[in-house]
């Protein structure tokens, strides 16, 4: 009798398949969470900038850009929009007058709080309606593992898994 196709795959191919499934699942969840954003007038990148500044406190644009993996020029355009909307303020660094400091306003902090609450409420309702207690337990165990992946500094070469 022929072996099942999954059994004859190499470990590298199996890992590739698992990575693809995880990426696709995370992308689907991300799309759903974006649909349930509180402030639809801001782009996901602008919301990410606000969240980054909230996490890091007063910071400089180059550090935000580095953490987000974007160019400072792109960040500057978004910061202009966020500042015009009263969500961030930029001021000169008193210790180095060449640098600008960025921080959230009270309105920026409130927007992030409400955005997270909206998405958390959707996720909680979706979990309650669709997942068993066991499945919720698996997600609880998976959360720190996903954070570990998200903060990984690994750089991989693209290989064809069919090889």
Distance of CA 146 to the CA centre of its chain: 11
With beta carbons less than 8 A apart as the criterion, state whether 66 and 83 touch.
no
- Total residue length of the chain: 163
Q: Which domains does the chain have, with CATH numbers?
A: 11-150 (1.10.10.10)
Six token digits for residue 87: 């969500």
Give first-to-last CA distance, the chain, whole Å: 25
Q: What is the rounded average pLDDT of the residues 6-28? A: 86
pTM for the full predicted model: 0.75
CA–CA separation, 117 and 104 (whole Å) = 18
Task: Grade residue 154 by pLDDT with cuts at 50, 70 and 90.
Answer: confident
Write down the mean pLDDT value for the chain: 90
- For residue range 90-110, what is the model confidence (pLDDT) as tens digits? 999 999 999 999 999 999 999
User: Is the distance from CB of 105 to CB of 87 less than 8 angstroms?
Assistant: yes
- Tell me the pLDDT band of 152, cut-offs 50, 70 and 90: confident
């Amino acid at each position: 009798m022929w072996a099942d196709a999954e059994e004859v795959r190499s470990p590298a191919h199996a890992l590739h398949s698992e990575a693809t499934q995880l990426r696709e699942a995370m992308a689907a969840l991300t799309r759903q969470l974006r649909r349930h954003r509180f402030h639809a007038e801001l782009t996901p990148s602008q919301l990410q900038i606000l969240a980054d500044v909230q996490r890091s406190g007063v910071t400089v644009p180059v550090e935000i850009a580095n953490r987000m993996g974007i160019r400072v020029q792109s960040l500057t355009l978004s910061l202009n929009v966020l500042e015009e909307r009263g969500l961030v303020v930029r001021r000169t660094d008193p210790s180095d007058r060449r640098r600008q400091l960025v921080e959230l306003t009270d309105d920026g902090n409130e927007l992030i709080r409400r955005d997270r609450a909206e998405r958390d409420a959707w996720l909680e309702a979706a979990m309650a309606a669709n997942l068993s207690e066991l499945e919720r337990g698996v997600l609880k165990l998976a959360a720190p593992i996903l954070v570990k992946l998200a903060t990984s500094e690994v750089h991989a070469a693209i290989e064809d898994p069919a090889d």
